[in-house]
Amino acid sequence: MKRVMVVAMALALASCGDSLTSEQQAEQDAVMADQVREANDAGPPIEEVVPETISYPDMEANDLLGLACAYAPGTSLGVRVIARETDAFMKIDGEMVRFAADPGSRELPANTRTLYNGREYSLRLAIEEVIAEGEIEDTTYEGTMWLYDRQDRVVYTGTGTTNCGV
């Protein structure tokens, strides 16, 4: 109880000092409101993501064998994204992350889509020119992948070969 009285008296004494005019108070409030808006609009800092190579055991464990497109960035042969008709997979921090296909997005080879959505991220895929056509439905393209966070900011991008087929 004594502490409450001491705090109340300190606040009362502080308010007896220099008081602001209504114009000064309005200006101070406007500056503070702008600072709050700026802080709210900033969002959390961007955390870059480096997807890991999807290994053959990962493919078997998640039943990823069959008709799909496999994206490998740069000159690497390590697949970073496997896209299928209804979903896509990417390995992030040792975990296989599943994305659901956006059925309204543009269709790519092997019945894949340009957009896939997940809980934490969304994935956009693009296929450009044909690099090589295979004998049994396998075709190699130049492809690009973009990974977006919840604030729609790019946290990973990679361009390289994309193999589509069985």
Domain ranges of the chain: 2-42, 56-165
Long-range contacts of residues 57-65, Cβ cutoff 8 Å, at least 24 apart: 58/89, 58/91, 58/96, 61/96, 62/89, 62/96, 62/98, 64/89
pLDDT digits (tens, 9 = 90+) for 36-90: 888 887 778 888 999 999 999 999 999 999 999 999 998 888 999 999 999 999 9
In three-state secondary structure terms, 144 is strand
Which has more pLDDT, 76 or 26?
Answer: 26
- Return the H-helix or E-strand segment holding 69: strand 68-73
Shortest CA distance to 159 belongs to which of 127, 132, 136?
Answer: 127
* Whole-angstrom distance, CA of residue 11 vs CA of residue 150: 43
- CB–CB of 107/83 below 8 Å? no
Shortest CA distance to 122 belongs to which of 96, 95, 145?
Answer: 145
Which has more pLDDT, 17 or 109?
Answer: 109
